């Protein structure tokens, strides 16, 4: 035996890696043997490929602190496929990247299971992923997640600002809580004792919106645009789908804030403007559509309601 | 002014984030405004979509220590598109995920520029990315990268074990150094003083192989399979593209080890078996093709040479 440095001495646990690969093999379409994942391209008239990447941010740190990791996979998938849905795309496949300090096959398997379940819920194949162990570079319990989603949409069905007209209605779909944004702030509130560390309230997984958007398409609604209320909140995300010369008007009295948003605001520690530019305020997805389609939309999606409209003007979001 | 907790107090620097977005906007196809990236699907007979995700691992930590970050973008792109190339796919688009403790727009911009240059070199569009700041969760200088590549291949042109025949030759293409694997071990050697901390030697960016594979296709070579010699080295990666009942034989005396591999082995600290299962040993990509096509292949790709063949047998790689 050579007494030199082996890869295990350097901190990498190849047995744990093999155990993890075995655990997740059945969850990954096509298995874990190939260099790359292969997916059939659906037959379409004039398809565009749509892609999005995102992470879960520091929600992971709060989930670790509160001992509740099993929703993080849905958070990861939702952050990506909800962005895809804003173009009108149907999700096709997903890959994940997980970076850890020391690989715990049980925790990693739990997260991949949550990813696989969320992919299945939106009809998206989990075709691959990478689990990277970085011993010595980060703490043993370090955990970070990144997701990548690809979907397809017919070129003449792409949603966006180019379809939006003055007078269009804005329909809001409720969020399932804080989703995956603003957690540096939430953690500071929890650490200071201002906010109770309630995992049910603070860690509820991010709602998946692609099926809601698909339901409208199936109902024949002429959807113009969709906005995922993610990092930056309403002021940053809603104007992204409104063309120049028009602006969105939203009436905050038209919906109930979710319990999680209310708890954060009740701390009295978050200035109103910061709350609006950090959190979803209770609405996770906005749909912009012709006024006469609003009743079909609110009938087809539980909890959806008209929350505003599009008017002439400039300067981003108007609350009123 | 409300004296509460703002997002900046919580550690997130939104100005730095905006500066970074402005810096990279010109490098990202379609800009940085949309929720998701859109790419035209090429017209093909019966296309499959191929995807791969990977990171750069702890090479990042050594690059930070030696103050040379500008090759990491190429490493990231290469780790993904070299996997795509193993299926015969043409790279189509790429997205990156960058996690940092505190965002330094200059460093982040340098890395995205390196990603963009590597994408351009293989004809792949950089369509999006996510830069995530995780203050308080990781050290301010924490940096991690994940990449995601999508390509396309005609179904009847997919490379792999199903094409490989007894007697096929194995042609090796030189690596550009250590590529992006084995850096937990390399860092241990540098930290112990056994290996000189030479950035030119240890941090040379990972070679991009897709254009080499495309050159063979253009030359009419009937390529059977390709194996990216990545994590796990020859013993793990070469057998992945060899069908049951056959095995690869490789003669290590047929090529020169690169200077970086030689330096690692010269430390006398790495058992031979560990070196083979950790590093690329000087060959970063193996092509498996009919014996009569070998001369065209070695003529078309600088430095490529026959390094072995496929024989009847089982049990993985045979060195001899």
pLDDT of residue B12: 60
List Cβ neighbours of A40 (8 Å cut-off, separation of 6 or more): B48, B49
CB B245 within 8 A of CB B314: yes
B55-to-A59, A75, B145 alpha-carbon distances in Å:
22, 21, 6
Residues in chain B with CB shorter than 8 Å from the CB of A97 are 53-55, 97, 146, 148
**For residue B50, what are its two tokens?**
């191929």
Q: Which candidate in B51, B162, B264 is best for mutational testing of the A interface (most A CBs within 10 A)?
A: B51
pLDDT tens, position by position, A13-26: 667 777 777 766 66
Distance from the A112 Cα atom to the nearest Cα atom in chain B, whole angstroms: 15
CB B130 within 8 A of CB A55: yes
Give the residue on A whose Cα is nearest the Cα of B189: A5
Select from A136, A131, A98 the least CA-distant residue to B186: A136
Give the residue on B whose Cα is nearest the Cα of A147: B97
**In a 10 Å sphere around its CB, with 0-12 CB exposed, 13-18 middle and 19+ buried, how is residue B261 labelled?**
buried
Distance from the B32 Cα atom to the nearest Cα atom in chain A, whole angstroms: 11
**Residue-wise DSSP of A22-34:** HHHHTTSTT-S-S
Residues in chain A with CB shorter than 8 Å from the CB of B99 are 55, 99, 144, 146
Distance from the B218 Cα atom to the nearest Cα atom in chain A, whole angstroms: 22
CB contact under 8 A, B99 and A144: yes
Q: B202 in contact with A at a CB cutoff of 8 Å?
A: no
Residues in chain A with CB shorter than 8 Å from the CB of B225 are none
Give the residue on A whose Cα is nearest the Cα of B1: A271
What is the rounded CA–CA span in Å between residue A306 and residue A288? 10
pLDDT tens, position by position, A110-164: 999 999 999 999 999 999 899 998 888 899 999 999 999 999 999 999 999 999 9
* C-alpha B230, offset from chain centre: 8
Helix spans in chain A (H) = 14-25, 59-65, 72-85, 105-121, 183-191, 199-202, 210-218, 233-237, 259-266, 272-276, 294-300
Q: Residues in chain B with pLDDT < 70?
A: 1-14, 23-33
Q: Which of B47, B50, B58 sits opposite A37 (nearest CB)?
A: B50
A297-to-A122, A219, A226, A250 alpha-carbon distances in Å:
19, 8, 13, 17
pLDDT of residue B284: 98
Residues in chain B with CB shorter than 8 Å from the CB of A9 are 188
Q: A58 in contact with B at a CB cutoff of 8 Å?
A: yes
Residues in chain A with CB shorter than 8 Å from the CB of B58 are 134-137
Residues in chain A with CB shorter than 8 Å from the CB of B269 are 4-5
CB B278 within 8 A of CB B178: no
pLDDT tens, position by position, A267-287: 999 999 999 999 999 999 999
CB contact under 8 A, A99 and B274: no
Q: A95 in contact with B at a CB cutoff of 8 Å?
A: yes
pLDDT of residue A16: 74
- In angstroms, what is the C-alpha Rg of chain A? 21
Backbone angles phi, psi at A177, to 5 degrees: 135, -140
What is the rounded CA–CA span in Å between residue B305 and residue A256? 69
Give the residue on A whose Cα is nearest the Cα of B13: A184
Q: Which of B39, B53, B153 sits opposite A129 (nearest CB)?
A: B53
Q: A22 in contact with B at a CB cutoff of 8 Å?
A: no
pLDDT tens, position by position, B177-216: 999 999 999 999 999 999 999 999 999 999 999 999 999 9
To the nearest whole number, what is the mean pLDDT of chain A? 92
Q: Indicate if the pLDDT at residue A59 is higher than 60.
A: yes
CB contact under 8 A, A54 and B130: yes
Which strands, in side-by-side order, build the sheet including B225-228?
A: B225-228, B283-289, B169-174, B305-312, B246-250, B318-319
Residues in chain B with CB shorter than 8 Å from the CB of A274 are 4, 6-7
Give the residue on B whose Cα is nearest the Cα of A226: B35
3-class secondary structure per residue, B141-190: CCEEEEEEEEEEEEHHHCCCHHHCCCCCEEEEEECCCCCCCCHHHHHHHH
What is the rounded CA–CA span in Å between residue B144 and residue B100? 7
pLDDT of residue B5: 53
Query: ipTM of the assembly?
Result: 0.91
pLDDT of residue A2: 34
Q: Which of A37, A93, A135 sits opposite B184 (nearest CB)?
A: A135
**Residue-wise DSSP of chain B:** ---S--TTTTT--HHHHHHHHHHHHTTSTT-S-SSSEEEEPPP-SSEEEEEEEEE-TTHHHHHHHTT--TTHHHHHHHHHHHHHHTTTPEEEEEEEEEEESS--HHHHHHHHHHHHHHHHHTT-EEEEEEEEE-BTTB-TT-EEEEEEEEEEEEGGG--SGGG--TT-EEEEEE-SSSTTS-HHHHHHHHHTTSS---HHHH-PPPPP-HHHHHHHHHTT----EEEE--TTHHHHHSGGGS-TTEEEEE-GGGSPPPHHHHHHHHTS-S-HHHHHTTS-TTEEEEEEE-GGGHHHHHHHSTT-EEEEEEEE--SS-EE-
pLDDT tens, position by position, B109-155: 999 999 999 999 999 999 989 999 888 889 999 999 999 999 999 99
Residues in chain A with CB shorter than 8 Å from the CB of B53 are 95-97, 128-130, 148
- Considering only residues 133 to 152 of chain B, which have any Cβ-Cβ distance to chain A shorter than 8 Å? 134-138, 142, 144, 146, 148, 150-152
pLDDT of residue B6: 52
Select from A104, A101, A105, A130 the least CA-distant residue to A11: A101
Give the residue on A whose Cα is nearest the Cα of B191: A10
What is the rounded CA–CA span in Å between residue A296 and residue A287? 12
pLDDT of residue A137: 86
Q: A53 in contact with B at a CB cutoff of 8 Å?
A: yes
Q: Which of A53, A144, A227 sits opposite B148 (nearest CB)?
A: A53
pLDDT of residue A3: 36
CB contact under 8 A, A34 and B144: no
Report helix, strand and coil shares of chain A as percent, to nearest 5: 35, 25, 40
- Considering only residues 206 to 225 of chain B, which have any Cβ-Cβ distance to chain A shorter than 8 Å? none
- Considering only residues 276 to 315 of chain A, which have any Cβ-Cβ distance to chain B shorter than 8 Å? 277-278
What is the rounded CA–CA span in Å between residue B257 and residue B264? 11
What is the rounded CA–CA span in Å between residue B29 and residue A48? 14
* A12 confidence band (pLDDT: 50, 70, 90): low
What is the rounded CA–CA span in Å between residue A1 and residue A284? 59
What is the rounded CA–CA span in Å between residue A319 and residue A170? 13
Distance from the B51 Cα atom to the nearest Cα atom in chain A, whole angstroms: 5
Beta-bridge partners for B97: B130, B146
Q: Indicate if the pLDDT at residue A4 is higher than 90.
A: no
CB contact under 8 A, A134 and B268: no
Select from B220, B233, B217 the least CA-distant residue to B283: B233
pLDDT tens, position by position, A163-197: 999 999 999 999 999 999 999 999 999 999 999 99
Q: A269 in contact with B at a CB cutoff of 8 Å?
A: yes
CB A186 within 8 A of CB A198: no
């Amino acid at each position: 035996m050579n007494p030199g440095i082996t890869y295990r001495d350097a901190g990498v646990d190849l047995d744990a890696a093999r155990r993890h690969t075995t655990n997740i093999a059945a969850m990954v379409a096509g298995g874990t043997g190939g260099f790359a994942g292969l997916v059939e391209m659906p037959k379409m008239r004039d398809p565009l490929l749509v892609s999005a990447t995102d992470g879960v941010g520091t929600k992971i740190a709060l989930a670790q602190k509160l001992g509740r990791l099993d929703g993080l996979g849905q958070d990861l998938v939702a952050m990506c496929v909800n962005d895809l849905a804003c173009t009108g795309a149907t999700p096709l496949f997903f890959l994940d990247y997980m970076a850890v300090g020391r690989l715990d096959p049980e925790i990693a398997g739990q997260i991949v299971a949550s990813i696989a379940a969320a992919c299945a819920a939106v009809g998206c194949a989990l075709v691959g992923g990478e689990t990277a162990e970085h011993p010595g570079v980060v703490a043993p319990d370090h955990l970070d997640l990144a997701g990548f989603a690809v979907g397809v949409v017919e070129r003449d069905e792409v949603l966006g600002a180019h379809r939006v007209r003055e007078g269009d209605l804005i329909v809001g779909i409720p969020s399932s809580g804080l989703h995956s944004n603003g957690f540096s702030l939430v953690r500071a509130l929890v650490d200071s004792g201002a906010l109770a560390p309630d995992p049910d309230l603070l860690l509820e997984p991010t709602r998946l919106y692609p099926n809601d958007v698909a339901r409208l398409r199936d109902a024949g609604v002429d959807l113009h645009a969709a906005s995922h209320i993610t990092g930056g909140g309403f002021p940053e995300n809603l104007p992204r789908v409104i063309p120049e010369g028009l602006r969105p008007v939203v009436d905050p009295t038209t919906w109930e804030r979710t319990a999680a948003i209310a708890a954060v605001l009740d701390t009295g520690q978050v200035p109103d403007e910061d709350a609006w530019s950090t959190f979803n305020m209770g609405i996770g997805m906005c749909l912009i559509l012709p006024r006469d389609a609003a009743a079909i939309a609110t009938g087809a999606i539980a909890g959806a309601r008209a929350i505003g409209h599009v008017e002439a003007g400039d300067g981003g979001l108007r609350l009123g």
